Amino acid sequence: MTPEPLSPTGTDTAGPPPGCPAHALGPDGLRRLYGPGAENLSDLYEELREEHGAVAPALLHDDVPVWVVLGHGENLHMVRSPSQFTRDSRIWKPLLDGEVHPANPLMPHIAWQPICSHAEGDEHLRLRGAVNGALGTIDHRALRRHINRATQRLVNRFCEDGRADLVGEFAEHLPMAVMCQVLGMPEEYDDRMVHAARDMLKGSDTAIASNQYLVDALDRLTRRRRAHPEEDVASHLITHPAGLTDEEIREHLRLVLIAAYEATVNLISNVLRVILTDPRFRAQLSGGQMTVPEAVEQSLWDEPPFSTVLGYFAKQDTELGGKRIRKGDGLLFGIAPGNVDPRVRPDLTANMQGNRSHLAFGGGPHECPGQEIGRAIADAGIDALLMRLPDVQLACAEDRLRWTESIASRHLAELPVRFGPRPPQDVERRPAFRQLPAPATSPAARREAAAVPPEAPPAAPPPVPAEVPALAPRPGAWQRFLRWWRGA
C-alpha cells in the first residue's frame, strides 16, 4: 500500500481477457468493486483484508478511487470522529476533479443533499432534531397494527395457493406498504413504487430515473401536507419548529423511506431464509430459547441490510488503520466486512444474542434514524407471517437460492416456499395464537382447524412435517402480553 493518495490515471484499452483473475484489476493494480471479478464482494473484502489489513484501497465505478474500511474498530472510529471525517461529498477530490460522471450509477448515494446525513454542527442538530421529533410522534402500538394488517393483506394474496415467493410477494412489499402509511401517502403504495426503490438501490442503469420517481411521489406528499397537515411523519416534519423548507422535507422523507425500506426488506428475507434452512435456528425460535427480535439481531451481525455505505470523506490529512489518508479522499463505510472482523468475531458461528455492537445501523452523529421502525416491521411482520403459515417450508434445495449483489447491499433474489393452503383472513384480525392442529376427522373439527365460519366448506390443512416444528406461542401471561403489544 502506497502512502500516496489514490489517483487513477486512466483505464487501459487493451486488458486481460474476461475470466482472467487480472480482469478485476484497474489502474495501479487496484481491485475493482464492480464488474468481472467482483461478483462476490464478501470474498473480495476478505482478500483485501489479507493484502492490506483494516483499511484497503480499491476502485468504484468508472475506476474512481476509494478506501474500503474493513476493520470493526476503524469503522467505529471513522463514524464517531466528525472532526476528521464528514458525509459531505462536496469535498471529495475525485468529484471536484471531474472524475465522477453525472451518469455514474452511484450518484444517488454520493450526491450531496440538504439532509441531516450530510450536514454538520448546528445545521446537523437542526435537521436531525426535526427528523427525530417527527419519528418520535409514531404510535408504536398503531404501527404494529399497520404491520399486522399489511401482513394479512399480503398473505391473503397467496395463502390459497399453497406456494409463494416470500421475497417478491412479501419481504419487498411489507416495508413499503407500512412506510407509505407511516409517512402519510398510502395511496402511493403499489408495485411501481416497490420496483423504483429496488432499482434505485441496485445502482442499475435506470437508478437515476427510479430515484426521480420516488422524489416526485414525496414532492406530491410534501405539497399536500403543507396545505393540509394530518397525523403522520410528513406533517410533523412540516410543522416542526426547525422550519424545514419543502426541499428539506422531501429529502428527509426520502432518507427515512429508503433507509427503513431497504434495511427491512433484507432483514425479513434473511431471517426467513435462516428459519427455513437451519433446523437448529428454527427449533430455538419454536422452543422459546430465541425470540423473533433476537433472531433479527443475529441477522444484523451475519447479513447486515446494507453491506457498505458510500461514503465518508477526509476533512484533513489523517491516518486510519495504519494508512495515510489525504484530505478529500473518499472512504467506504464497511458494515459487512466490519461485522466479521476476526479481531471482534474470531468464531463466526458463535451466537451473538444480546450483542448490539454490530455496524448495521452505523454510529456516531449519523446513526440511522429509522432503525427502530425497521426492527418493528421485521419483528411483527415475521411473527405474523409464521403464525398464519406455521407449516411453511422451503420449496427448493438451499443451494439453489440466489442473491443479487451491489456495492450497497446483498439482496436475496427469491425465497420459494410451500405450505398447506388456507383461506384468506380478515385483515382486521390478528394472527391466531395457536399451533396448527393435526387433521381433524369430523366436519366441525375441520372447520375449526381451518378457522372458517360454520357455513363455509370444510377444509382440512395438511399435517405439520415432523422435521419442521410449528411455531407454538407461549401460554398464559406471556400470551396475554403479546396480544396487548400487538394492539389487540
pLDDT tens by residue, the chain, 488 residues: 333 333 333 333 344 444 444 456 888 889 999 888 888 899 999 999 999 999 999 999 899 999 999 999 999 999 999 999 999 999 999 999 999 988 887 887 788 888 999 999 999 999 999 999 999 999 999 999 999 999 999 999 999 999 999 999 999 999 999 999 999 999 999 889 999 988 887 667 788 889 899 999 999 999 999 999 999 999 999 999 999 999 999 999 998 998 888 889 999 999 999 999 988 778 777 776 678 888 888 889 999 998 999 889 999 999 999 999 999 999 999 999 999 999 999 999 888 877 889 999 999 999 988 888 989 999 999 999 999 999 999 999 999 999 988 888 888 999 999 999 999 998 877 655 434 333 333 344 334 433 434 334 444 444 444 443 444 444 444 344 344 444 44
Burial-class residue 59 by CB neighbours within 10 Å (0-12, 13-18, 19+).
Answer: buried
pLDDT at res. 110: 83
- CA atoms within 13 Å, Cβ hemisphere of 422: 27
Q: What is the pLDDT of residue 28?
A: 83
Whole-number Å distance between alpha carbons of 402 and 84: 39
Whether 197 is in a domain gets the answer yes
pLDDT value at residue 431: 58
Is residue 229 in a domain? yes
State the Cα–Cα distance between residues 179 and 370, nearest whole angstrom: 10
Q: Is residue 312 part of a domain?
A: no
Q: How many Cα atoms are found within 13 Å in the side-chain-facing hemisphere of 345?
A: 20
The verdict on residue 289 lying in a domain is yes
Q: Quote the CA–CA distance of 218 and 106 in Å, as a whole number.
A: 21
For every residue of 275-337, DSSP letters joined together read: HHH-HHHHHHHHTTSS-HHHHHHHHHHHS-S-SEEEEEEESSSEEETTEEE-TT-EEEEEHHH
Q: How far apart are CA 249 and CA 194, in angstroms?
A: 21
| Contact (CB, 8 A) for 335 and 357 | no
Q: Which three cell numbers stand for residue 382?
A: 415475521
Q: Domain containing 469: what range?
A: 123-306+357-485
How is the beta sheet containing 330-334 ordered, strand by strand?
Answer: 55-60, 64-69, 330-334, 308-314, 85-86
Tell whether 166 is covered by a domain. yes
What pLDDT score does 294 carry?
84
Task: Say if residue 404 is exposed, middle or buried (CB neighbours under 10 Å; 0-12, 13-18, 19+).
Answer: exposed
Q: Find out whether 457 and 377 touch, Cβ atoms under 8 Å.
A: no
Residue 441 pLDDT = 39
Whole-angstrom distance, CA of residue 227 vs CA of residue 229: 7
351 in a structural domain: no
What's the confidence (pLDDT) of residue 121?
92
Residue 375 lies in a domain: yes
Cell numbers that stand for 81 in this block: 470522529
- Are 247 and 354 in contact, with CB atoms under 8 Å apart? no
What CATH number does residue 475 fall under? 1.10.630.10
Cell triple for 294: 433476537
Give CA–CA dist 54/321, Å, rounded.
6
C-alpha gyration radius of the chain: 24
How far apart CA 152 and CA 425 sit, in angstroms, is 7
Q: In this structure, is residue 185 part of a structural domain? A: yes
Number of domains in the chain: 1
CA 482 – CA 291 distance, rounded (Å): 12
Q: Dihedral (C-alpha) 393, 398, 400, 402: value to the nearest 10 degrees?
A: 90
